[in-house]
Structure 1
Amino acid sequence: MVETRYVEIPPPAGPLDLSRPHFVGICGAGMSALAHLLAGRGAQVSGSDLRMGEAAAALEEAGCRVRSGHDAANTVGASVVVWSSVIDAANPEIIAARAAGVPVAHRSHVLAQLVAEADRSVVVAGTHGKSTATMMLAAAVGHLHPSWVAGAAPAVSVNGRTGSGLLIAEGDESDRSVALYRPDVAVVLNADDDHPETFSGTGDVVGTLTDFAARAKTLVVSADDAGAREVASRVRGHGDTRVVTFGASAGADVRLLSAAPSQAGSTVTVLGLDGERMSWTVRTPGRPAVLASLAAYAAGRVLGERPEVLAAGLSGFAGVRRRMELVGERRGVRVVDSFAHHPTAIAADITTARELGGGRVIVAFEPCGSTRVRVLGARMGAALGAADEVVLLPVRDAVPSSAGPAVPDEIEEAAVGAGAHVCRVDGLASAADAVAALAAPGDVVLTMGVGEVADLGALLLVPADRPLTVV
């Protein structure tokens, strides 16, 4: 989740009837995952959204009934109406459900119930990398045919599925709802200063993730991230939760010995929980993907799975959409898509892009969230400064900001101050023109952000529309 509105999430009056759920905003990442999972269990799933597209088509193929636009009539016959924190309380479907006495539940309460009902459960949390680690764990224990839900889809599938009684889920911290989950295994990848619309700073994020982690039987936690280490320290200070650490730090329970990079990713070697030395291939480039694979391996070992089986599952994992995903290559220019939107993730993905080719790194960046831009904009720009060229799109707002829309002036100033050349554009088409004029053989074009910038790669790779320049 990138930006939400701070909302109070009232608990449901009792167990939810999930036989005929209706999702308001069903095409959203977290909502569609739950819809896929419940449809696979035989539920009669319906939903509505303002934006139809690939997600809606996949849901309909899975047996869900998806309607364009929000209308009170869409909720007729629903056993529960599910909303998320980006949905306004004045939504006509929410109002109609309450007037008709139909239970209305936040998506986090649906997931919390599924976690509680599972035979075994793992919830992956943290500020960055949750989707990748969740999907890697599902692949690592694929022989168990787990059920899973994530905020992004693997390269060859959708973002939720029904399987065995083992449930692997991504936990969203943006609205504090992650603290509702009580899994057998809690995974905390990192704890950074993010979601200023909800949190007052890193310490506040750490507190919420500690509340989540302390309720689990076992905490699998990064030994390399300062915020995650603080979570581990607080959890060790009270309760009976077992703590298992992973990372490159000396003394980590699952310790990274080496990560040899290649054009296709990395070959990773670790020293495991029982002193085993194990290697596997990570097919997504970059250090964040390496560390996500360590988290998945550590969680798999906590579940009791054999090292060689986990390594084989990780090696076969093809990656997650929009997580340093190679969109294509044309005329010697590589186009890679990145979901990064926080300064830490922006810096990491630009570093990775620099390792992919011998030319320049050109970033087309779409900031998201006016509140986030006002608080983190200068840091975003400083991180973007590691690129050679930055094509900067307007700020996209997933939800309205009480202070009004922001402009990316601070981002531009900080990026220029850090050494990048910046070109401001007014939309996707002009961004494609700007990138096409800049790119040359050997360059890596990184399309970055959470909004329509994800469609930029396709524009650049269509010769008839906007051929990449060759010099």
Structure 2
Amino acid sequence: MVETRYVEIPPPAGPLDLSRPHFVGICGAGMSALARLLAGRGAQVSGSDMKTGQAAAGLEAAGCQVRTGHDATNTAGASVVVWSSVIDAANPEIIAARAAGVPVAHRSHVLAQLVAEADRSVVVAGTHGKSTATAMLAAALGHLRPSWAAGAAPVGSVNGHAGSGLLIAEGDESDRSVAWYRPDVAIVLNADDDHPEVFSGTGDVVGTLTDFAMGAGTLVVSADDAGARKVSHRVRGNGGTEVVTFGESAGADVRLLSVVPTTGGSTVTVLDPGGVRVSWTVRTPGRPAVLASLAAYAAGRVLGEEPEPLAAGLSGFAGVRRRMQFFGEVEGVRVVDSFAHHPTAIAADIAAARELAGGRVIVAFEPCGATRVRVLGSRMGVALAAADEVVLLPVRDAVSTPAAAVVSGDGIERAAVAAGVRVHEGGGLAQAAVAVAALAGPGDVVLTMGVGEVAGLGALILASAARSVALV
């Protein structure tokens, strides 16, 4: 979740009848994962969305009924109507359900119930890397055929699956709903100053993640991240929850010993709590993917699994869509797609791209969210300055913003230029593609970065680069 309106999520009213759920905004990342999971369990799933296309086709193939647009009649026959924090309370389907006496539940209420009903459960939380760690853990435990729901799909797969009674799920902190979950194992990857539309700062994020962690039997937590360490310190002080740490820090229970770069990734070696060295391959470049794999391995060990199958599952994992995903290459220019939109993640993915580049790193960045850009824009610009060239696209709003609150990317540009990088105007996708193609040369890595429309930029860049070469 990039930016959401601030909403009050009421406590769950009681057990939900999930036999015929209707999802308002079913094509959203978190909603579609739950829809797939429930459909795989035999529920009659329906949903609606303003934008459907390929996402809707995939859901329909999974057994869901998807309607384009929101209409009061869409909720007929539903046992519960499910909304997410991007859905306005004035949505006609929400209004119709309440008028008809049909229970209306936030998506976190559905996930909380699934977590409570599971034989065993793991919920992955943190400001950055949740989708990657969730999918990695599902891969590491693939021999157990787990059920899982993530905010992004692994390469060549989908973002939710119904399997055994072991449930692995991504917990979204952006609207504080992560605090509803009571898993057997809670994972906290990090705690950063994010979602300024909801949180007052890092301390506020730490508080919410602490509430979540204290509801678990075991907390698997980063020993390296400052915010995560605060969470673990509070949990240890409260008692009742076992704490298992991972990271490069000397005292970590699962300790990173070495990272050896490979083509497009790395070989990771850790010291297992049992005192043996264990290695696996991470097929996504960058430190965040390495640390996500440590979290997955540590959680697998907490669940009682042996090192060898966990390492084998991690080595076979191909990565997550839009998380430093190799998109294509033309005339020596490689295009890599990144979901990064927070200063910390921007800096980390540019550093990862630098590992791949024989030449320069060129970033095409689409900022998202008026509040996020207003509060974090300067830090975004400084982070972008680690690139050699930046093509800046217009700010995209994740949720509707009053005209008076609309912001531009000028603050990002000023900070980036002051930090020493050249910034080029991106305009729309077509203009950005032409600008990048004109800048890029053999050996360069182009990083398409951000959320939303920028996901389609890679194909345009490759086509523009090919045309530029043909015209020479």
SS in 2 for 1:31: helix
What residue in structure 1 maps to residue 65 of structure 2? Answer: 65
The equivalences for 1:268-417 within 5 A come to 268-401=268-401, 403-417=404-418
CA contact (8 A) 2:437 2:464 kept: no
CA contact (8 A) 2:49 2:67 kept: yes
CA contact (8 A) 2:438 2:465 kept: no
The equivalences for 1:66-145 within 5 A come to 66-145=66-145
Structure 2 CA distance for aligned equivalents of residues 282 and 337 of structure 1: 17
What residue in structure 2 maps to residue 33 of structure 1? Answer: 33
CA contact (8 A) 2:219 2:243 kept: yes
Structure 2 CA distance for aligned equivalents of residues 366 and 257 of structure 1: 36
1:228 is the counterpart of 2:253: no
CA contact (8 A) 2:206 2:230 kept: yes
Length, aligned pairs only: 471
Per the alignment, do residues 463 and 385 of structure 1 end up closer, same or farther by CA in structure 2, a change over 3 Å counting? closer
| Structure 2 gaps, min length 5 | none
Structure 2 CA distance for aligned equivalents of residues 335 and 197 of structure 1: 32
1:428 is the counterpart of 2:429: yes
Q: What amino acid maps onto 1:241 in structure 2?
A: T
Give the Å deviation of 1:465: 8.2
CA contact (8 A) 1:461 1:468 kept: no
What residue in structure 2 maps to residue 163 of structure 1? Answer: 163
CA distances 1:18-64 after superposition (whole Å, capped 9, x unpaired): 11111000000000000000000011111111111221111011011
CA contact (8 A) 1:437 1:469 kept: no
1:194 is the counterpart of 2:194: yes
The equivalences for 1:243-258 within 5 A come to 243-258=243-258
Give the Å deviation of 1:68: 0.7
What residue in structure 1 maps to residue 4 of structure 2? Answer: 4
What residue in structure 1 maps to residue 151 of structure 2? Answer: 151
CA contact (8 A) 1:439 1:469 kept: no
Higher mean C-alpha displacement, 460-469 vs 4-13: 460-469
CA contact (8 A) 1:436 1:468 kept: no
Structure 2 CA distance for aligned equivalents of residues 276 and 32 of structure 1: 40
Structure 2 CA distance for aligned equivalents of residues 259 and 446 of structure 1: 23
Q: What amino acid maps onto 2:461 in structure 1?
A: L
Structure 2 CA distance for aligned equivalents of residues 195 and 421 of structure 1: 28
Structure 2 CA distance for aligned equivalents of residues 432 and 380 of structure 1: 21
Higher mean C-alpha displacement, 422-431 vs 178-187: 422-431
SS in 1 for 2:238: coil
Give the Å deviation of 1:464: 9.6
CA distances 1:116-143 after superposition (whole Å, capped 9, x unpaired): 0000000000000000000000000100
Per the alignment, do residues 262 and 36 of structure 1 end up closer, same or farther by CA in structure 2, a change over 3 Å counting? same
Q: What amino acid maps onto 1:108 in structure 2?
A: S
Structure 1 CA distance for aligned equivalents of residues 7 and 280 of structure 2: 42
Scaled by the length of structure 1, the TM-score of the pair is 0.98
What residue in structure 1 maps to residue 180 of structure 2? Answer: 180
Scaled by the length of structure 2, the TM-score of the pair is 0.98
Per the alignment, do residues 463 and 416 of structure 1 end up closer, same or farther by CA in structure 2, a change over 3 Å counting? closer
Structure 2 CA distance for aligned equivalents of residues 401 and 219 of structure 1: 37
Per the alignment, do residues 88 and 467 of structure 1 end up closer, same or farther by CA in structure 2, a change over 3 Å counting? farther
Q: Percent identity?
A: 82
Give the Å deviation of 1:109: 0.3
| Structure 1 gaps, min length 5 | none
